[in-house]
Structure formats: C-alpha cells, structure tokens
A and B are shown apart, each in its own frame.
Chain A
Amino acid sequence: DAGVIQSPRHEVTEMGQEVTLRCKPISGHNSLFWYRQTMMRGLELLIYFNNNVPIDDSGMPEDRFSAKMPNASFSTLKIQPSEPRDSAVYFCASSWDRGNTIYFGEGSWLTVV
C-alpha cells in the first residue's frame, strides 16, 4: 500500500523565493496534517484539514505560510517569501478520523540560504 507521498524530498532555495511543498495522503484518509520539525522546537503542528476543510491553522507561523487542500488526494504548503529561519523538515501526515492513527510521509527537507 502506498503511504503518504511528499515532494520534493529535498529543496534548497534562496531567501525570498517561493517554496511549494506537496503531499498526497493515503487513499481513503480524510484528515491531513502538516507538521514542521526543527532542532529548536521539535515537531509542531502547522495546520490540520478534515474532509478538505482547514480545521485548525493556529500553528501556521505567519502570513508567509499558506496551505490548501483542493481535493481529497492533494495538499500544498506554500511559503512566500521564504526566509532562512524556515529551514526545517516539513512532514505531511494523514489519518482516517475513525481510526485515530496518523501516518507520516518521509518529509520534505527545506534549506533556505
């Protein structure tokens, strides 16, 4: 079975550029999560969708960050403009809300220079 698929796996970009991270959740899952992992702050929930609707975006750091889920099989996390402090691993995860187990992708490793 395919797990959560994220792209790109690695990205290096210059400060000020737009970054788009993509996620395909596990088929049949109706909840999708974006997490950010850094050494300083650990794993932080950025935003959470249920049935394609954003439920809680209180973790989104600032207006430079935006996330969309246009359909059940695709989500994007966009950073515009990017800054060096955005360098982190961004994880997408999905679950079925009657199953309560969250499955993680392998992450997108972002470096902003």
Chain B
Amino acid sequence: AQSVTQPDIHITVSEGASLELRCNYSYGATPYLFWYVQSPGQGLQLLLKYFSGDTLVQGIKGFEAEFKRSQSSFNLRKPSVHWSDAAEYFCAVGALNFGNEKLTFGTGTRLTIIP
C-alpha cells in the first residue's frame, strides 16, 4: 500500500525567505507524485506533479520539487515566499496503473508567512 509522510505539521517563514516542505513516500513501484495547495475555504489546487523524466519539476507560482528515489522524497521548494503563499500544502502519491489513479495524501503542512 502506498503512503505519504509530511513530517512538518506547521512551518512559519518570513516573507522573502526561502521555503522547503518535506515529503516522504512509500510505494513499491515508480510513483506518481503531486503537490497540492489549499487556501482557507477553498479546494485543492495542483502545484506540480512528477511522473517520469527530469527529477526537478517546475510548477505554478514559482514552486519546484525534486524527486529523489534514493531518499523516497519529493520536497517542495520556493526561493522567496510571498504573503499569498500562506496555505496548507499536501503531498500525494498515486498509482502508476492507468485507470486506477487513486491518490493517497499526506496530512498536510500549514504554512504561515510573517512580515
């Protein structure tokens, strides 16, 4: 069974500082990996995804993530955060079988931005 661990429940970062959110996954084959963001009262918006190929993936809003198979990690990064980045961030792992793309989500990391 697939699983995702986001070890940081809450992170506080100063505006303009760099950000890294951690994600570790467990899956028996090559995973599909995703980062979603959820603003208060909103649904989940896809930031980026990794299926194969280049292990450094660029997403929307200036985010990137790096897939490291040896560490079973898919950490999310941003070089300089903005106050609007305050939200909840979810890492997810999906099955590689077409027609069966169930996503398993981590518990989320809440990001607070301070001036």
Tell me the smallest distance from the CB of A49 to a CB of chain B, in Å: 11
A11 touches B (CB below 8 Å) = no
Contact status A43-B102, CB under 8 Å = no
> What's the dominant secondary structure at chain A's contact region?
strand
Contact status A97-B99, CB under 8 Å = yes
Tell me the smallest distance from the CB of B23 to a CB of chain A, in Å: 14
Give the interface size bracket for A toward B: 20 to 34
A104: B residues at CB distance < 8 A = 36, 43-45
B32: A residues at CB distance < 8 A = 100
Count of residues in B whose CB is under 8 Å from the partner chain: 23
Contact status B101-A107, CB under 8 Å = no
* Given A42-B105, A43-B105, A101-B49, A106 and B42 contact (CB-CB distance below 8 Å): yes
- Residues of chain A at the chain B interface (Cβ within 8 Å): 4, 31, 33, 42-43, 45, 48, 50, 55-56, 91, 93, 95, 97-98, 100-107
